[in-house]
Structure 1
C-alpha cells in the first residue's frame, strides 16, 4: 500500500482551521444583517413606510409623554440614505398647564434627516418643507417647566435643529415667558419655487410685547441656492419698540444656526432706558442715542464687543455681556467715554436732561411750587433691580461743563440681588480728588442708602483755579468727608431722613489778604491794605473746620471755626435736606484792635438752587444805628465807637479742629472749653424758649 496516498487522504478529511471557520461565521452574520437591513430598506422604500403610522404615534407619544397624531398621509423611509419623513395634519400636544393645546401642528411637513445626527450631536435637517405650521413655545409661571422639554424636571433652553434649507408657507411661531413678561408672534411668508430653484429671500414679520413695551419685528433670510451645498445665509432683521429700533445683520452657516456666529447689531432711538427695559434691565433715562456693536451668542451669553456710539452729545465705547440666568439676567460691562456733556449726566441723578438744557437744574429736578429745588425726586426702580444683577466698570476722561469742573470719573458698579454698590466712585473736581462709596440696599423696605464721600487733601489754590479764581498767594490745603445714612427710594427722600456728619478741615496755610478781609468784613484793615496796594499779602490760616452734624435730614453747624493769625471766624445755623433751605451766619472776631470793623455776621440764606449772601446783616444795621445816635447826642467822633473791635477773640486749639471734632470737643489754645461755637444744633435757648430754625423745629 502507498503510504503517501493514505496520508493525503487523512489530511483531506481533517476539518478546516478554526480561523477559517470563525471568518465564515462572521461573514455569514454580516451578510445576514446586511440582507435584513436591505430587506427592511426595500420594504420601507416600496411602501414608503406608511404602515408605520400607528407605531410612530404610539412610540413617539410614549417617549414624549404627549399625544402625537397624524391625520393624513404618513411616510417614513430611507431615501436612499437619509431618513425621509412626511406627515399631514400632524400634531404634538402641549402639557395640561399650557395656555395652548398644541406644541406643534402642521398641515404638511416633509424633511430629510441624516441618520447619524439622531445618535450623535445636535439634530440636523438637510431640508425642511413646512405648510401651515404652528409652533408654540411657552414657559410656566414659575419658569421651571416649558412646553418643549419632554421630561420631568427643570425646563431646558430651546434649541432649534440645524436646518440647511427651509421652504415654509403659512407658518407661525409663538413664544411666551410669563415671568419675563415676553410674548412674541412671528409669521413667515411663503417661499415660492420656480425652475427648480427656490426664492432668494425668506421674509418674516410679527408682533410682541416685552414687559410693558409693544414691538414689531420684520426681516428676511437671504438664502441662495448654494444653501443646498451648505452655503451661506444672510440674515437681516429689524425690531421696533416705540421710538427705538434694533437692526441685526450677519451671515449664518445654516438657516437656523446663530450659535457662535458674529452678527452686526445697531440700535438707535430716543431713550436707552426704554430699550433695556425690554430685558427687564433698569438704567437712568438718557438722551437720543445711536450705537453699533458685534454680537456673538455662546450658550446663555450674548456678548457685545466693539461697541461704539453716542448718547446726547457724549460718546461711548467698550463691550458688555448679557447672560440669561435663572432667575435673573446678569450684565457685565466695561465702558469708556472720552468726552461727557454735563447735560447727559443729568439722568443719572434723576434730572430731565432736556429741561436742564433749556431751563436749568431747578426746572428739571421735578419739584414744583414757589421754592426752587435742587435734589432730584426720581424714584429708584426697585422692582427692576430684582430682575437682574450687574458688574459694570465705567470711565470718563473729561466732562464738558461751564460751571462744574469734573474730570477723570472712574466708577465700579455692582448689583447683587437688589444690593447696589457704587464703590469706588472717584473723580476730579476743580482739580481735587474725590473718592466715594455709595451702597443702596433695596433688599429691604424702605430702601436704605449709605453715603461715604471723601475729598483727598487738596491745595486750596488748585480748587480756586479749578473754579476760575486766581491761585497766586494761596498755599493752604483742604480735605473733606461726608458720611450719611438715610432711607427712601429717591435722592431727596434718602437725604431728607439722613443722619451722619459732614466735615471740611483746613490745615495751616495762607490765603490772599483781599479774600480774607472781605470775609471778615474788617473794613479798616481792608481799606488800609487797599490804599497801600498790598491786596495780595498772604494771611496765615492756623487751622479751620467747617463741620455739620446731620440729624433726620437737618444739618447743624458743629462747629464752623477757622483760626487765622488775625481773626477767629465762627458760624452758626445750618441747612435742611428736606426743604433745601440754608440759614447760616458767619462772623469774624478780631484778635487785634481794629478801628473800623463791621464785626457782624455775614448771612448765607436762600436755598440749594438759589443761595443768597446777606452782607448787610441786622447786627450791622443795629450798630450803624447806634453810631448814628452817638453822633447826634455826642459828636461825629462818637459814631466811630460803634465800629471799634477791641480784639479779644480767643485762638483755637488746632488738634480738635484738624481732627474734625464736634463743637463740644473744641478748646482754646490755652485748653479752655470754647463757649462761642454753639452746641451742634440749629436751635438755641433764649429766655427759656426754643427758637425755630428753617421752620422745622
Structure 2
C-alpha cells in the first residue's frame, strides 16, 4: 500500500516536473513568433514577419530578433517592404523591469533598410496613426534608451508630392577616445532640386541624460538654399530642452515653401539666424535676425506639430525697401544690384523695368490652405522706395480655413496714415475674391510732396472701397467696383501734382496747367467711381488762392490707359488770362500731356471771377465726405448749393 502511494505521488509530482524539464529542454523562443507577429501587425496596420527570436536571461536580458520584415499597407506593392532588419539586439535591465520600468541600456540595429513611398494621389506607406512628439512638460513615460548603435543603415525616400527622391546612409561610430556619434548623410533630389545633407548627432550613450545634452550638427543644401542647425537637445526622444542655432540662406524665400510646408511669395535674397527649440507642441524660431534684399527683418516664428499646422510670426524691421515686398502682390521683388541675386532674378528685374505695364500681371499664387492656419504681425519703422511717401508700415494678417484677412494694413505718412481692411478668398479655379475698405487719416501733404522732391503743407483725408475678383493684381483692378473720395484739410503746395510713383511729368503738368510753383490750397476734393475697372472722375476740384483746377475723364485700371481732362480757371480775370484745358492720355507708365487747343479757343470768352467755380461746385452736395472738417471745402459746397438755385449751368459728369 505504501509503495502504491509512493508511486502515485511520483506520478502526480514527478511526471509534471519531468514534463516541465522536458519542455524547457525543448523550448524555442521562436514558438512565440506568431503571437509577436500578430500583435505587431495589429498595432502597425501592416504585415509583420520575424524569422528567429532569441532571449538570453540574466541580470540583463538580451533579446535578439533576426529577419524582421514590416510590409506595406494595402494598395502598395509587397516588394520592397516598408522596412527590413536582418538583425536587432536589445538589452533590457531586469531589476527595473520587475518594478514596472523599462530600461534599455543598449539597442543595436544591424543593416536596417527603410523604403518610404509617397504616391501622386497623396497616399503613403509610412503614415501611422500615432501621436506626435509630446514635447516639454510631458511625463517621463516610455522606455529609457541608452546606447543606440546602427550599423550600415539605409533609407530610400521617393515622395511624389515633395518631388523628392533621395537616399540616406545612417550609422553610429565610437572612435577611440571620442564620444560616440550618430551620423547620417543624404543625397538625391528634393523639391526637384539637388539635396545633400550631413548630420552628426553627437553622444548617443544615453539619449536621456539631462546632465549631458545631446549635440546636434546638421548642414543641408537644397539647390541654392543653405541650412545649418547646431546646438544641443537635452531629451531628443521628447524633443525637450532644445538649444539650437538655425542659419538659413537662400536667393528666394519661395524656395523654403517645400521645406516648411508654408506657401511663401517670391523675395530677393534672404538670410537669417535665430534660436530654434520645441515646446508645447510647437517648433519656435526666436531671436531672429536677418535680411531680405535691402530690408532687415527680426522677430519670432512658431510652427505647430499637430494634425493641423499653425504658423505664427511676429516680425519687425528697422528699415524696409518696398521693392523687396513686390512678390506679395505678384510683382518682381528686389532691385538691380542687390547682393546675392541669381542671374534669373537679375533678368526678371530687367524685364519688369522694360515692361510697358506698371501694375503686376503675374498671378498671385495663394492656394486655399485647408490644412494650415497662418497668423502674421509685422511692423516696419521706416520705408525706402523710389518716390515713396510712406514712413512706416503695420500689418496684421490671418489665414484661417483658407480665407485671408488683413485687419488692418496701415502705411504711415507723416503724422497720418493710409489704412485698409481687406478679405481675400481663394477660389477653386485659381481666382481670388477680394473686398477692401480704405481710409486716409490726416495724410501729410508735406510728406507726399517731399517724396516727389517738392514742398508743401496740410493734410488729406479720404475713404474708399473695392470689391473684385481676379488672378493677378492687374486683373483684380480691371474687374473692380468701388469708389474713392479724398479731401484736403488746408495747406500749401510747391508742386502738388508732381508725380508720386516715379513718373517724370509732374512739373510739366504744373506748367501746362499754369499754376504757380507755390500757392495756398483752399480746397482739394476728388471723388472717383470704379466700375468694372474703369475709374471715372465724378468730381475733381483744386481750389487755390488764384486758380481753380477741375477734372473729368476715365482711367482704365486693367489696361492701364488714361483719358483725362484738366481745366485751369483764373479767379481774377485779366487780359490774356484764359481758361486752360489739357489732356492726359497714354499709359500709366508713360503718360502724355497735351493742350486741347480747340477747347481753349471755344472758351476764350469765358466769364471771370468766382463764377467759374459754379459748375464743379454743383457736384459737391452729392459727395459724402466723412473725413473730418475743412471749413473752406464746406463753404464751397454751400456756394455750390446756392449756384444750383441761381441758374448755374448744370455740371457735366
Fold shared by both chains (TM-score > 0.5): yes
Deviation at 1:213? 4.7
- Which of 546, 570, 587 is the matching residue for 2:567? 587
| Aligned position for 1:693 | none
* Offset of residue 544 of structure 1: 3.5
Instruction: Pick one of 243, 263, 281 that aligns with 1:262.
Output: 243
Offset, 1:392: 0.5
Q: How does 1:429-468 map to 2 (within 5 A)?
A: 429=413, 432-445=416-429, 446-468=431-453
Question: Equivalent residues in 2 for 1:361-510 (5 A)?
Answer: 364=349, 372-383=356-367, 385-429=369-413, 432-445=416-429, 446-471=431-456, 474=457, 476-507=458-489, 509-510=490-491
| CA gap 1:206/1:70 in 2 versus in 1, 3 angstroms | same
Displacement, 1:570? 2.0
Between 247-256 and 264-273, the greater mean CA deviation after superposition: 247-256
- How far the C-alpha of 1:488 sits from its partner, in A, is 0.8
Q: Of 147, 151, 159, which residue of structure 2 is paired with 1:165?
A: 147
Q: Tell whether 2:271 aligns with 1:287.
A: no
Match of 2:288 in 1: 307
Does the C-alpha gap of structure 1 residues 674 and 419 become closer, same or farther in structure 2, counting only changes over 3 Å?
farther
Aligned length: 592
TM-superposition CA deviations, 1:519-550 (whole Å, max 9, x none): 59787x97xxxxxxxx86x6462x43212211
Match among 58, 71, 75 for residue 93 of structure 1: 71
Once the two structures are overlaid, the 10-residue window that deviates more, 251-260 or 280-289, is: 251-260
Structure-2 separation of matches of 1:586 and 1:215:
60
Cα distance, 1:592–1:226 mapped onto 2, change above 3 Å: closer
Residues 66-77 of structure 1 correspond to what in structure 2 (within 5 A)?
Answer: 67-72=47-52, 74-77=53-56
Mapped contact 2:146–2:204 kept (Cα < 8 A): no
* Equivalent residue, structure 2, for 1:678: 652
Question: For residue 318 of structure 1, what is the aligned residue in structure 2?
Answer: 299
Query: Are 2:232 and 1:251 aligned?
Result: yes
Q: How big is the shift at 1:283?
A: 1.6
Q: Of the candidates 625, 630, 634, which is equivalent to residue 659 of structure 1?
A: 625
1:289–1:309 Cα contact (<8 Å) kept: yes
Q: Distance in 1 between matches of 2:227 and 2:586?
A: 48
Residue 455 (structure 1) shift: 1.2
Aligned counterpart, 1:669: 642
> C-alpha offsets along residues 168-198 of structure 1, whole Å, 9 cap, x if unaligned?
212123567776776664221463676xx78
Q: Give the gaps of 5 or more residues in structure 1.
A: 1-39, 527-534, 627-640, 680-697
Distance 1:203 1:552 in 2: 61
Residues 125 and 250 from structure 1, CA distance in 2 versus in 1: closer, same or farther, beyond 3 angstroms? farther
Alpha-carbon RMSD: 4.3
1:228 and 1:334 mapped to 2: Cα distance?
33
C-alpha separation in 1, matches of 2:378 and 2:536: 36
Residue 113 (structure 1) aligns with? 92
- Contact 1:248-1:265 within 8 A present in 2 as well: yes
Q: Which position in structure 1 is the counterpart of 2:319? A: 339
Aligned-partner Cα distance in 2 for 1:551–1:129: 72
Q: CA deviation at 1:441?
A: 0.8
CA distance in 2, matches of 1:577, 1:94: 56
1:590 Cα shift? Answer: 4.1
1:58 aligns with 2:35: yes
- For the 8 Å contact 1:432–1:462, the answer to whether it is kept is no
Once the two structures are superposed, what CA deviation does each residue of 1:127-147 show, in whole Å capped at 9, x if it has no partner? Answer: 111111124566898889965
- Is the contact made by 2:323 and 2:335 (CA closer than 8 Å) also made in structure 1? no
Matching residue of 1:553 = 533
Judging changes above 3 Å, is the alpha-carbon distance between structure 1 residues 110 and 254 closer, same or farther for their aligned structure 2 residues?
farther
Separation of aligned partners in 1, 2:97 and 2:159: 29
- What CA deviation, in whole Å up to 9, does each residue of 1:371-397 have, x standing for no partner? 711111222224364453200001111
Q: 1:288 to 1:299 in 2, by over 3 A?
A: same
Does the Cα contact within 8 Å between 1:520 and 1:588 map onto a contact in 2?
A: no
Partner of 2:110: 131
| Structure 2 contact 208–236 (Cα < 8 Å) conserved | no
**Counterpart for residue 186 of structure 1:** 168
Mapped to 2, the partners of 1:240 and 1:226 lie a distance apart of 30
The 1:180/1:114 distance shift into structure 2, 3 A limit, reads: farther
Aligned with 2:586 (options 601, 606, 612)? 606
Is the Cα–Cα contact under 8 Å of residues 594 and 645 in structure 1 kept in the other structure? no
Distance 2:459 2:451 in 1: 14
Larger Rg: 1
